[in-house]
Amino acid sequence: MFGLMLVNSDRRVRYLNHKARQLLLPPHSQEVGSWDCCELICHRLGPVVDGCLSELAVAAEGELPEVRMDVESERLETAAWVTVSHLSPGSDLLFHLRPGRTGDRRRRTDPTWTGEASSSERAELRISTLGKVEVEGDGPINGSWLEQRPGQLLKYLICERRRVVTSDQAVEALWAQAGIDEGRSRLRYTVHALRERLEPDRAHRSTGRYVVARRGGYVFDTNRVWLDVDEFEREAAAGLAAFDQSQYRQATEHLANALRLYRGDFLSDDPYAEWAHEERERLRGMAAKALRSQARIEIVEGRLEAAAQHTRRLADLEPFDNDVHRLLIEICLRSGRRSEAHRRYSRFRRRMNTVFDCEPDFDLGAVERQIGGPAPSDADLSPAAGRA
């Protein structure tokens, strides 16, 4: 999970999500507005950054590159990679905190301080996991190996990318039927084969850049990798934070970026992998929140066709959600597409009867009568409504 912090033009903190509170605030502290960005972040950076990150972001008129910040308190010892950007010119600043590792001595700043390549262009490896898995290095390195043991290990490590996976955990997830000794032997061979796939020019017996051995297990080091799933989370979290702050134009920009990346469910070509289920559902839920928020923005701004497109996609993600299907039917009726509204209601009713032996909790006739009333108002766009 990523930390998000909104700071106004006076450098005062306006908003912290749950993860940012965990990382930045002292225990039992509840007052957000009493802090400024320097107290919570800039002073923790030490000599690596000269000045206030908010002021640097304003001067740069764009996103600052990541810098690493160590976080030490009574509760935890960890690190975070911090970047700052405008939600829009002259607006609040969004601080984004990506989980890091203590003791990481990589270069703390990035060539983008001088306007060089973007993070995705600098990545040595690009991996798409939302929908069909695709891997690119200097060129595409896809192939049947992605369906074999090395590919399965890669997908598993990406799924568990924020923690070290012990050898026994990997064996249990991927080769549960093998004995301990056989499983560990398979894992060692598969790690070697995966490193050969990802780093064909790797020197003999050298350590891997991506699949890193650590504390009796392995971790997938994403520092040199662009992952669509991390970019999706970052854009979705920024969009939802802007939506919560009623900054709808900025929310639309970030949510649109996130939804372009969400080409399908996480590791959709491995639908029966039990170890991927929890992460797949978490990301699906985030995509659903993004679609719901985007649709409500479009409704209030009178763009019903765009709202219908987002809500159709949301209905595919949430096939049994009464509120979602009622909203889509209402949009169809308001757009004059009465036949589509009736078809969708009939299909939804059959689905609920077949799967749950129950009726929808709304009646089509009642929705049609409601359409004769006032159009949706700004109340429909409230953060509470967006999370309904």
Q: 236 and 346: one domain?
A: yes
**Of residues 45 and 261, more confidently modeled:** 261
Query: What one-character-per-residue DSSP string does 148-174 give?
Result: SHHHHHHHHHHHTTTSPEEHHHHHHHH
What per-residue confidence (pLDDT) applies to 104?
A: 53
Q: 93 and 137: one domain?
A: no
Provide the mean pLDDT of the chain.
Answer: 83
Q: What is the mean pLDDT of residues 13-24?
A: 85
Burial (0-12, 13-18, 19+ Cβ within 10 Å), 378: exposed
Q: 265 and 141: one domain?
A: no
Helix intervals (H) in 94-217: 119-122, 149-159, 167-174, 180-198
Q: 104 and 150: one domain?
A: no
What per-residue confidence (pLDDT) applies to 267?
A: 96
Q: What is the mean pLDDT of residues 328-337?
A: 92
Q: How many C-beta atoms lie closer than 10 Å to residue 167's C-beta?
A: 17
pLDDT tens digits, 173-199: 999 888 888 989 999 999 999 998 998
| Nearest residue to 264 via CA among 376, 133, 118 | 133
Q: How many C-beta atoms lie closer than 10 Å to residue 179's C-beta?
A: 10
| H or E segment to which residue 366 belongs | helix 364-371
pLDDT tens digits, 213-252: 887 889 898 877 889 999 999 899 889 988 988 888 889 9
Distance, CA of 272 to CA of 161 (rounded, Å)? 20
CATH of residue 134's domain is 1.10.10.10
**Of residues 214 and 33, more confidently modeled:** 214
Using the 3D structure, point to which of 199, 220, 241 is the last residue of a domain. Answer: 220
Distance, CA of 93 to CA of 108 (rounded, Å)? 21
**What's the pLDDT band for 71 if we cut at 50, 70, 90?**
confident
Using the 3D structure, point to which of 56, 91, 117 is the last residue of a domain. Answer: 117
Q: What is the mean pLDDT of residues 67-90?
A: 73
The per-type count for the chain, helices as H runs and strands as E runs, is: 15, 11
Distance, CA of 55 to CA of 23 (rounded, Å)? 22
Q: How far is CA 202 from CA 150, 206, 208, in A?
A: 16, 7, 8
**What's the pLDDT band for 49 if we cut at 50, 70, 90?**
low
- Is a pLDDT exceeding 70 seen at residue 139? no
Q: What is the mean pLDDT of residues 199-207?
A: 75
- Is a pLDDT exceeding 50 seen at residue 341? yes
Contact 131, 265 (CB under 8 A): yes
Q: 155 is in which domain, residue-wise?
A: 123-220
What per-residue confidence (pLDDT) applies to 385?
A: 46
Side-chain half-sphere of 138: how many Cα atoms within 13 Å?
A: 4
pLDDT tens digits, 263-313: 999 999 999 999 999 999 999 999 999 999 999 999 988 899 999 999 999
Using the 3D structure, point to which of 54, 89, 117 is the last residue of a domain. Answer: 117
Q: 75 and 182: one domain?
A: no
Q: 253 and 362: one domain?
A: yes
Q: 249 and 377: one domain?
A: yes
What per-residue confidence (pLDDT) applies to 16?
A: 86
CATH of residue 359's domain is 1.25.40.10
What per-residue confidence (pLDDT) applies to 3?
A: 84
Q: How many domains does the chain have?
A: 3
**Of residues 106 and 284, more confidently modeled:** 284
- Is a pLDDT exceeding 60 seen at residue 149? yes
Q: 381 and 250: one domain?
A: yes
